[in-house]
Amino acid sequence: YQRMARTVKAPKTPLVKPPEVVRVLVLHSSDPHQAGAPLYGQRYIHFLGSDPEWVLGRPLPEPDDALSTWE
């Protein structure tokens, strides 16, 4: 009971690990074989390489041994 009371009184603050953002440079392009083809200028494309994650410091214990592993 005392171990559980200490855990409730001093909770750890979870943090959000930001996602990995990847930036790709796409160079200018057009179709040289087509007359009047549009010219697309260079631009950057951003996409997420990973998802954001919650970080709790240590993994949560299994439900059956929750009280035995928490200090």
**pLDDT tens-digit profile of 35-48?**
888 888 889 999 99
Pairing, β 43-48 against β 53-55: unpaired
* Contact yes or no for 17/55 (Cβ under 8 A): yes
Share of the chain above pLDDT 90, in %: 18
Eight-state DSSP code of residue 24 = E
For residue 68, pLDDT beyond 60: no
d(CA 2, CA 10): 12
